[in-house]
Structure 1
Amino acid sequence: MAFEIENGIIRRYVGAEEEVRVPEGVTAIFDNAFSESKHVKRIILPAGLKSVGHWAFNRCQLLESVALPEGLESIGRSAFRSCIRLRDIALPPTLTTLGGKAFEFCKSIKRLELPSGIREIGDKTFSNCSALCAVTIPDGVVRIGGWAFEGCVGLETITLPDSVASIGEGAFLDCTGLETVTVGKGVQTVGGDAFAGAPWLEDDPGDFFAINGNLLRYTGRAKWVMVPTSITAVCAEVFERCREMEGVVLPDSVTRIGDGSFEGCPALRRAELHSRITELGNGVFELCKALDYVVVRGLLAGVNRTAPAWRAHTALYGNTCTALTVYLPVSCGASFRTVFHADGQGVHALFSRYFSLFQKIDDTDAKVLMALERLVSPYLPESGEMEAYRSFLTEHLREAMRLFLARADLLPVRALGALGLIGEDAIGDLTQMAAEAKHTEISAYLLAYKREHFGFHAPTFDL
């Protein structure tokens, strides 16, 4: 057999055999060593082999089986890429490194069991393995790379162990047979389009679909979208081309907004963000041609005095929002101004202009949030503005309570109490609303507030 071997490393194979037995003593197969071999169907590797290099068997299109020995520790990038007839392959328990695209376009592999030593599945490792119907991901895998299983149309079920913390962009994109997914409790981040095209995602009946706080999909048709407080991250393109949406409010729980999250929403006129957001993707509001203003709020419990580390993206608003105004709390700092002036397309950052905006808005929920935010800010408004905010909240106390119950958020209810806006004439109705919503924390707070401020025992409700 025609091997070029140097110091235990196969540099090149130039033979024409269908069955290749690599000689004992070989410890590594170098990059491209068997790449595009036109005759090889079966390969038997020696017990002492430790590594398979990048593109080592790339495009060996007649290759059907490979015997990987126990003791093998690493398989490089694109090592078996486009081995379209490869069916029989068992990954040894000693394997710890599996490179990106290692088995991409291996369209005949049906089953795989990943060894327990694998910590990361690289980008596109099993992309377009169209016959793959079963894969076992062991506890210990921390990251599933971008497009790792993209186009695995035969895959019907997948279980992600608790060790998985990150699911990359498009990880299971176009897995059109994927109907059952079990996600472990450890997932912290999910990339855009991670499960796009999978029946498991598309068949969910709810408006909001999230994994461990990562919002993957929105299918509602509300004009004013209130993102639930259980959401911590908005993944890429979640609200892309939502034609009905005119406004959106993100809760303080959201810290990450993915690329193109609101791209191409033609009716979107207003958006409300907050200063706890630490990651802002590219093109978040790109092609939102109707966008008039963005409100950046501080924290409800007290406005942050330090602006977050937002990156200034030139694609944030593209060239479409030529009269966009961004309303910022005084304490957010000058770095916000840099972000919103990034593209120089007529974007104006205005500080302490809440009241003029408050007067323009006709959406009650939005005005409730703005009024309460302004009243709890350490930078108090002028007396006339303060009275307007207080009067509005007093008149719309029940609407405010309905909003906060829907968001399951005790903090603003406590703020209403601290501001003395919950009067004796309203406390009974508010307590009843909380009881009917079965929100025990808000109910308990209102009952305690009633006893403390109005001096009589509250009735008991069935929670």
Structure 2
Amino acid sequence: MKKSVIRNLLAVGCALFMVLSVNAGNAGYGAVVTGAGQLESEVGDRLFEIDSLSVSGPIDDSDFLTMFRGVTEGRISILNLEHASPESEEIPPEAFQSASGLKKVILPGNLRVIGWNAFKGCSGLATVEIKSELRVIECRAFEGCGSLRSVSLNPGLWAIYEYAFLGCALDSIIVPPSVTQVGDGAFAENNLKKIYLMPSVAPRVVNRIVNTVDVDLDLFHGTTSLDIPAYIPYGADASYREAAGWNVLTNYIETDDFPLEIEQAYPCEVVTVAAGQLGAMLPQVDYAIDSLVVKGPVNEADIHSLWTEAYRRGTIRVIDLKDAKIENGVIPAKAFAKRSDIQYERADVRRLILPGDIVEIGDSAFYGNHSIEQINLPEPLPSLGKACFAGCANFKVGRIVIADGVIEIPDACFSGCPGLTEVILPEELESIGRYGFAETGISHVDLPASVTSVGAWAFGKSRLETIGMSESLVKIGERAFYATRLDNVDFPASLLEIGENAFESTQLKRIEIGDGIVSIGNNAFSGNRLLTEIVFPSSAVAFGTHVFAFCDELKQVTIPEWMTVIPDNMFSHCRNLESATFPAGLKAVGYGVFIYTGLKEINLPDGIEEIGSSAFYATRFETLTLPASINKIGSDSFAPTGKLRYIKSCSPEPPITGSWARPSMMPFDVPVYIPSGSLEAYQKAAVWNQFENYIETDDFSTVGIKSVVENAADGNIEVYDSAGRKVYTGKSESFDTNSLTGGFYIIKQGEATRKIVL
């Protein structure tokens, strides 16, 4: 006879004994209810006369309240709930809080959770018997149970949360091997003399109560001697000594002899005659199994039942379907996916053996399955559904080969599978869907020549280092290669569109944009902190904002001749960008284009009309020349971080401008050179009227000249045109005046300068 049957017979016998004991005059009562909410009417006036109460049948929160009254207003000190069935499989929060008269409780057989504060302050509680596959002990569940000297926690328990046994009288505790989380302070203020830790990996210590605040995790809060014997499995020493919360203990002892007896698991085989039978067969299988072999015909309902049973038990590690005949060879949608409809349960299947004739894996078939480590996938893979392996964080898939004839990788197909390290794509492939290989371990991929589209996030946050681009590629989606390790990309001539954030935060050192590209989205190359060179195309491109922002190593840029407006924030926060060469046809500089860069000079071309707000905010320029064509300047456009020597505003009409900058950044006593006859206009103009040191001039070319020499000695020289733009830097003997158009030029060598007219 199976142990489970014997246990059930004994339980029924105990319930009958309780009923008979009442009839014999003992102060106990066995209540059998057929529906939740009936306990008060069933017990009646006995509630305040009996010393113990046994309950069988369905119960709800109102029934727990009845029991609470029997303890706090009556004489009940013992509760036997082994055969009671709470509707939510939970002892409700605060169910028996401060019920000091309660001395012993036998918990329900279907119990999964002991709610927060459930027995808090039950100072007389000395015995707690767990008869179920309890999963979670919530925070402060037994806090202040000062008479509780021992408790036997069950195999299958997952979590003991914050302060669960704070202020009890435990002298030892056995943490079952299934526990993966223990809350901060869970065992504080006890009388612990030893502790048995059966998990082979130290359970993670958490504090969900103050999850927005950094706290020092401490299971014992300084109330337990740190050198108490802590018994752990062989090979677990490093795990515990390095884990937060556990690393405070100093006396770890490795052993394989633990006082908690774990029922030995064994494999089980189930053979179906017809599809649809598993749902009835699986509940009859003994509980103590760790692997399940299924043979015979199986349909979608069978797979659903199989996975539900794996969730309910939590002990099955291997499911073998090698000799099962799955209907139509299709793994159904969500077949082995994470289940959100089952509370306080989890599947722990590590290995799945599929039949060899699988032709399709449905949408989300393994979605969010964190436990699965091995699946014997056929090679090449069959037809794949969307998100079929998404979120399989521990799936050690390694290398996969996509079958010939596949033209699309479905959305999120392998997203979140770091164990995927290599993929071979078919020659017929045309597109890779959104998140197709995001957050995988793939380091290199060759896109077949037929691929025209790489979807959003396709390889985002993967470990991709190198890529062979398709010769037919037309579109790269947003964040397609975000935060990868790519350091070089050769864009094909076919490429037309690069989406937003497509190459953000990669390791690109050089970017050459092909002539065929027509649009590049916001932040497409931002955050490439190793980038040193940008080669713009000869044809116009529609750029978004922040395209090259936060590229720390970029020191020089040459804006292409076709660009008339520099898009907003294009080079913002490129902190080492010292030089920018502007095209002659430039009309406007957008918002924040060079904000927080290292620009030392601002040489704007004649013909420019508008400077956007914050365009040159917090840059290092020492001189500023505003061509006569400028008619509008945005707020905070020019805010130097270095020492500003002078400003030249060449227009007789003051440009319309917002506030220049905070006084701490803009010295309003700096010399401002303006055309002769325009002083009154500048002194009356908004914002311009803040400057205090205007100097009228008819010759802006001489502004800033300290001395004039007739001949520059041999050495390095700099040549500027009448607008203040640098047109030559190099050796004086190599300078050819024939390369210049007619006009005034300033030649500078060190602090000496001279003017020439051509």
TM-score (norm 2): 0.34
1:117 aligns with 2:450: yes
1:406 aligns with 2:724: no
Q: Deviations for 1:357-389, whole angstroms, at most 9, x for unmatched residues?
A: xx9744xxx98xxxxxxxxxxxxxxxxxxxx99
Structure 1's 42 and 120: CA in aligned 2 closer, same or farther, altered over 3 A? same
Matching residue of 1:13: 335
- Measure the CA separation in 2 of the matches of 1:405 and 1:271: 7
Structure 1's 79 and 298: CA in aligned 2 closer, same or farther, altered over 3 A? farther
Deviation of the 1:235 alpha carbon: 7.4
Residue of structure 2 aligned with 1:44, choices 366, 378, 402: 378
Residue of structure 1 aligned with 2:435, choices 101, 111, 117: 101
1:160 aligns with 2:160: no
Matching residue of 1:238: 571
Q: Amino acid of the residue matched to residue 721 of structure 2?
A: A
Deviation of the 1:165 alpha carbon: 3.7
Q: Can you give the 5+ residue segments of structure 1 that lack an aligned partner in the other structure?
A: 322-326, 331-335, 348-358, 368-387, 408-432, 447-463
Matching residue of 1:414: none
Structure 1's 271 and 228: CA in aligned 2 closer, same or farther, altered over 3 A? same
Matching residue of 2:421: 87
CA contact under 8 A between 2:599 and 2:619: conserved in structure 1? yes
- Measure the CA separation in 1 of the matches of 2:702 and 2:600: 28
Aligned residues with identical type, % of pairs: 13
- Measure the CA separation in 2 of the matches of 1:43 and 1:172: 32
- Measure the CA separation in 1 of the matches of 2:353 and 2:587: 56
Matching residue of 1:212: 537
Matching residue of 2:121: none
1:34 aligns with 2:366: yes
Residue of structure 2 aligned with 1:186, choices 516, 523, 526: 516
1:392 aligns with 2:699: yes
1:129 aligns with 2:462: yes
Matching residue of 2:284: none
Q: Deviations for 1:223-276, whole angstroms, at most 9, x for unmatched residues?
A: xx996564834674625375998x999545457867742334699999969998
- Measure the CA separation in 2 of the matches of 1:437 and 1:180: 34
Larger gyration radius, structure 1 or structure 2: 2
Matching residue of 2:398: 64
Structure 1's 2 and 328: CA in aligned 2 closer, same or farther, altered over 3 A? farther
Structure 1's 262 and 12: CA in aligned 2 closer, same or farther, altered over 3 A? same
- Measure the CA separation in 2 of the matches of 1:297 and 1:117: 53
Q: Amino acid of the residue matched to residue 392 of structure 1?
A: D
- Measure the CA separation in 2 of the matches of 1:231 and 1:181: 18
CA contact under 8 A between 1:139 and 1:163: conserved in structure 2? yes
Matching residue of 1:139: 471
SS in structure 1 of the partner of residue 333 of structure 2: strand
1:365-376 mapped onto 2 (5 Å cutoff): none
Structure 1's 13 and 181: CA in aligned 2 closer, same or farther, altered over 3 A? same
CA contact under 8 A between 2:597 and 2:618: conserved in structure 1? yes
Deviation of the 1:113 alpha carbon: 1.2
Matching residue of 2:736: 436
Deviation of the 1:399 alpha carbon: 4.7
Q: Amino acid of the residue matched to residue 136 of structure 1?
A: G
Report which stretch shifted further, 157-166 or 270-279. 270-279
Q: Amino acid of the residue matched to residue 400 of structure 1?
A: D
Deviation of the 1:22 alpha carbon: 6.7
1:251-400 mapped onto 2 (5 Å cutoff): 251-254=583-586, 260-264=592-596, 284=615, 361-362=672-673, 391-392=698-699, 399-400=720-721
Structure 1's 142 and 328: CA in aligned 2 closer, same or farther, altered over 3 A? farther
CA contact under 8 A between 1:237 and 1:263: conserved in structure 2? no
SS in structure 1 of the partner of residue 377 of structure 2: strand
Q: Amino acid of the residue matched to residue 95 of structure 1?
A: L
Q: Amino acid of the residue matched to residue 727 of structure 2?
A: A
CA contact under 8 A between 1:283 and 1:317: conserved in structure 2? yes
Q: Deviations for 1:385-430, whole angstroms, at most 9, x for unmatched residues?
A: xxx99x537979x9536966829xxxxxxxxxxxxxxxxxxxxxxx
Q: Can you give the 5+ residue segments of structure 2 that lack an aligned partner in the other structure?
A: 1-297, 302-326, 338-350, 641-648, 661-669, 676-695, 704-718, 744-758
Matching residue of 2:412: 78
Deviation of the 1:47 alpha carbon: 8.5
SS in structure 2 of the partner of residue 158 of structure 1: coil
Larger proportion of strand:
2
Structure 1's 182 and 405: CA in aligned 2 closer, same or farther, altered over 3 A? closer
- Measure the CA separation in 2 of the matches of 1:138 and 1:159: 10
Structure 1's 438 and 137: CA in aligned 2 closer, same or farther, altered over 3 A? farther
Residue of structure 1 aligned with 2:358, choices 3, 23, 29: 23
CA contact under 8 A between 1:162 and 1:185: conserved in structure 2? yes
Deviation of the 1:141 alpha carbon: 1.8
| Larger RCO (CA within 8 A; separation ≥ 6) | 1
SS in structure 1 of the partner of residue 490 of structure 2: strand
Q: Amino acid of the residue matched to residue 101 of structure 1?
A: Y
- Measure the CA separation in 1 of the matches of 2:427 and 2:525: 28
Larger proportion of helix:
1
Report which stretch shifted further, 87-96 or 165-174. 165-174
- Measure the CA separation in 1 of the matches of 2:610 and 2:410: 35
Structure 1's 272 and 93: CA in aligned 2 closer, same or farther, altered over 3 A? same
SS in structure 2 of the partner of residue 69 of structure 1: coil
Deviation of the 1:136 alpha carbon: 0.8
Matching residue of 1:151: 483
CA contact under 8 A between 1:210 and 1:231: conserved in structure 2? no
Deviation of the 1:69 alpha carbon: 1.9
TM-score (norm 1): 0.51
Structure 1's 239 and 41: CA in aligned 2 closer, same or farther, altered over 3 A? same
- Measure the CA separation in 1 of the matches of 2:431 and 2:610: 32
Aligned length: 338
Q: Amino acid of the residue matched to residue 536 of structure 2?
A: I
Structure 1's 174 and 268: CA in aligned 2 closer, same or farther, altered over 3 A? same
Deviation of the 1:98 alpha carbon: 1.6
CA contact under 8 A between 1:36 and 1:58: conserved in structure 2? yes
- Measure the CA separation in 2 of the matches of 1:68 and 1:296: 60
Structure 1's 329 and 33: CA in aligned 2 closer, same or farther, altered over 3 A? farther
Matching residue of 2:21: none
- Measure the CA separation in 2 of the matches of 1:7 and 1:35: 19
CA contact under 8 A between 2:603 and 2:726: conserved in structure 1? no
Deviation of the 1:120 alpha carbon: 3.0
C-alpha root-mean-square deviation of aligned residues, in Å?
A: 6.0
CA contact under 8 A between 2:568 and 2:591: conserved in structure 1? yes
CA contact under 8 A between 1:161 and 1:183: conserved in structure 2? no
